[in-house]
Amino acid sequence: MQFQVPQFIDIENKIVGPLTLRQFLYFAAAGGLSFLFFFIFASWLWLLISLILFSVAAAFAFIKYNGQPLVNIAFNALMFSWKPRLYLWQRESQERAAEIPELGERKNLEEYFSRMPSVRKLFINLMTSRGPIPKREKTGPASWGRQKEKTSAFRKMTGEKEIVRRIDYR
C-alpha cells in the first residue's frame, strides 16, 4: 500500500493572489492604519506615514534572514531589550570524600607481576617470545617475524639520487 507524503509542508498556501494569509494581513493592517491616519493628519504627513507603514509591512511580509521571518527577529530583539539580562551563577559546593586504598610500595614490574602468576607468565612471554602466544594471538604465516629488507635507489625532485632501505613486514 502506498501513501502520498506531503512534500512542501513548510511553505504557506497562497490565499489572496500571490500573497499568503499572513502577508495579506500585514498589508491589510498597514492599509487600515493608513486609512485611519488619512482623517487625522495633513496630506503630506499622511503620505509620509503611509509610505513608512507600507514599507514596514512589506519588510515583515517578505524579508527572511537565516530562514527566520523578520517578525520573529523583531519580536526576539524586543524581548531581549525588554527583559532583564542579569545572570548570576553561583557554584554549588558539594564536598565529596573519596577513599583511596593503599597500594603499597612497588619497586619494579617484576615484583608487581609476581603476585599475579597468569599475568606474569603473559608478560614474560610477550617480552621474550618470537612467535605468537597460543590462544592469545593469531598465528601468522611461516615467515612471520622475519623481515624482508631491500635497498632501492630513487631520484628526488631536485635530481639528487638517494639509496633507501625498504622493509617489508608481510
Report yes or no on 94 lying in a domain: no
- pTM for the structure as a whole: 0.46
Place of cell 622493509: 167
Report yes or no on 68 lying in a domain: yes
Nearest to 26 by CA among 50, 53, 51, 66: 53
Domain range holding 63? 14-82
The pLDDT value given to residue 57: 96
Mean pLDDT by runs of 10 across the 170 residues of the chain is 79 85 94 95 95 96 92 92 80 75 64 65 71 61 59 78 71
- For the chain, how many residues are written? 170
Contact between 49 and 34 under an 8 Å Cβ cutoff? The reply is yes
Sign of CA dihedral 80, 81, 84, 87: positive
The pLDDT value given to residue 137: 57
The pLDDT value given to residue 41: 93
The pLDDT value given to residue 44: 94
The pLDDT value given to residue 87: 75
Report yes or no on 24 lying in a domain: yes
Report yes or no on 116 lying in a domain: no
Report yes or no on 58 lying in a domain: yes
The pLDDT value given to residue 50: 96
